[in-house]
Chains A and B, each alone.
Chain A
Amino acid sequence: MPVMTMLEAIRHTLHEEMARDERVMVLGQDVATLGGVFRATEGLRDRFGAERVVDMPLAEAAIVGASLGLAWSGMVPVAEIQFLGFTQQAFHQVAGQLARIRARTGGDRGCAATIRAPFGGGVRAPELHSDSLEAQFAQCPGLKIVAPASAADARGLLASAIRDPDPVLYLEPLRGYRAVKDEVPEGDHTVPLGQAREVRHGDDCVIIAWSAMVHTCLRAAAEVEAATGASVGVLDLRSLVPLDVESIVAAAVRTGRVVVAQEAPPTAGFASEVVTVVQENAFYSLEAPVARVSGFDTPYPPGMLEEHWVPDSHRVAAAVRRTLEARA
């Protein structure tokens, strides 16, 4: 199997999907001539032409809103928003329109559009480029949300998202674009939406995370295991909506100790949803309170502060150790 960075896996998948289905088109700012500000769409315009790979005017609501109309015409739009923070300028189209159109038609007609957007900190980007807004979108019924942490999953989940009959928000980890490299299956590789992945097996505690935080949590698990001998697992949700409740509950029941880690601010973040799922379904198996590791209830800070703001492996490890030491 070839080894790819996440960015290469995304680009490879866009090429594959456009070759597979002539209705698939890519639209966004700077996606055609430049090949995307991160080069995720490099080569697509030359290979598939300017009708199917389109540099859009600088207007997020039009990119997302037009995708709904394009989908109704029978095209399969894959829209890129340069940074998730800028989806705020299209939020009314995502939440109020794409996510609701199937319900608005009594289930008859959906919107098979994919919205790709990088998110998360760690690259010293200007304001609004690093925000983790996934919980805002999790409150948009009708929308699916995936957030891969590996190149293989980037490939499989993007293929599934593009083929899905409903709108999918596909979140790409900014700091994982080139830093994360792994083996990507050849051929037609898809990963079903709504299935978590056990990245590291552990019997004493499980850390639940998604996207770039999965790698932080893997380092934390190794740190704790080296220091204490405890067996610490990591569960990568991969998909926030639909959520793999079964795998979350199974891991909680098996270990009795759960830490949920996210990059977003703590209040009403998606981690809180995961904690609730554990509490509702595995309460009597818990041996310690479920711990939550997050950013802070502040706007994402300027670059010089970001390593203090984004949870690092030590903060996650400290939460794991407290959870291991707790006695119910």
Chain B
Amino acid sequence: MADARPAATPVSADAENAPALGELLAEMTRARHWSTRLFNLQRQGRIGTTAPIDGEEAAVVGSAAAMDPAVDWAVPQYREPVGLGRFGEAVLRHTILYHSGHPDAGRYPAGVHVFPTQISIAAQIPHAVGLAWGMRLRRQPGVVLCYFGDGASSEGDFYEAANLAGVVRAPVILFCINNGWAISTPVRGQTAADSFAGKAAAAGIAGERVDGNDVVAVLEATAAARRRAAAGEGPTLIEAVTYRMGPHTTADDPTRYVPPDELELWRARDPIARLRRRLEEEGGWDDARQRALEEDADRRFDAALAAADATPLRTDCFIDSAYAQPTPELERQRRILGDAEAR
């Protein structure tokens, strides 16, 4: 089957189990498609604020593709989960639950190695370093992939965690998605540093800048970082240079600050279109495949949405989820809630 050959060719020597190009395109397409479905659900008033992934699919999917979901962990910020399908089918359902405001959103099934969505910028980076360090202390295999943005690299938590990662040689990959914007603040307002990858020097760890719209480059850089981390050679800070093609969130109006010509420039570098062109040129992709892929993405989203909608909601569950056992005071407060709802 000649036309399938490019799609089945391994893309990285470092990542033995890395998906073929066709699967990467599929995962990236699904990520954008699902992000758009979420956006539309928000506009319909069915779910709350979401953060579209448009433009960042190669960075998220390519890095995740270098990981082994059986032993590795992903620690996202909030824009990435639609692109983390590699870590399990459940991630999409839980992403829908998250944007629906359902309390079970962060209750991933056992074996899904994804941290719950964490909003406070950069605060997840120390967690990722601690997790990676602890896995090594526990003699567990596995590497932690931690996502954050260009803006997060201005936070103290980033510097503290990167520094600690270097000191304890934590098997962690600090994956900075430089999408050009922290809401309305451009990169030049974020740092005077030449690159975000250069901040690795301050922590004494490896730093690498990669074309974040080239999924193969992202995958290879992440796979190499993963191999080093797993071999005890320490952490890596990867800066994936990409562009946020959409709004910061559904609540944002980027026309107030994104220069239209800059946006056009980056739209021309769309990572999905770019990979698709490559596959089409190599004869491994066509419109029919693309249509089938999008239909499949829709079916999967519909199924995940139905499952999310059917997830039971117990209105006093917040009383039970603050501590392993509710305190006596919380049990008293449960009765107040019950009385209020009985009226």
Interface residue ranges, A against B (CB under 8 Å): 23, 25, 51-52, 54, 56-57, 59, 61-62, 64-75, 77, 92-93, 96-97, 101-108, 110, 141-142, 144, 164-166, 194, 241-243, 245-246
Contacts and interface: CB of A to CB of B under 8 A. Distances in A.
A161 B90 CA distance: 34
25 contacts: A51-B137, A52-B137, A56-B164, A61-B126, A61-B160, A64-B126, A66-B127, A69-B134, A70-B134, A70-B137, A72-B134, A73-B135, A92-B120, A92-B123, A101-B116, A103-B321, A105-B108, A106-B104, A106-B321, A141-B322, A164-B324, A166-B324, A194-B327, A241-B327, A245-B332
Interface in B99-137: 103-108, 115-116, 118, 120, 123, 125-135, 137
B156 interface: yes
B321 A93 contact: no
B328 interface: yes
Interface of B: 103-108, 115-116, 118, 120, 123, 125-135, 137-138, 140, 144, 156-157, 160-161, 163-164, 167-168, 317-318, 320-324, 327-329, 332
B318 A73 contact: no
Contacts of A56: 164
A52 to B, nearest CB: 8
B329 A96 contact: no
Contact of B130 (A69, A107, A141): A69
B170 to A, nearest CB: 9
Given A61-B157, A102-B321, A106-B105, A242 B328 contact: yes
A61 to B, nearest CB: 5
Contact of A107 (B107, B127, B157): B107
A66 B130 contact: yes
A57 B126 CA distance: 13
B133 to A, nearest CB: 6
B133 A66 contact: yes
Nearest to B119: A96
A142 B157 contact: no
A96 B164 contact: no
Given A73-B130, A141-B322, A62 B160 contact: yes
A53 to B, nearest CB: 12
A55 to B, nearest CB: 9
B133 A69 contact: yes
Nearest to B115: A72
Contacts of A243: 327, 329
A74 B138 CA distance: 8
Contacts of A65: 123, 125-127, 129-130, 157, 160-161
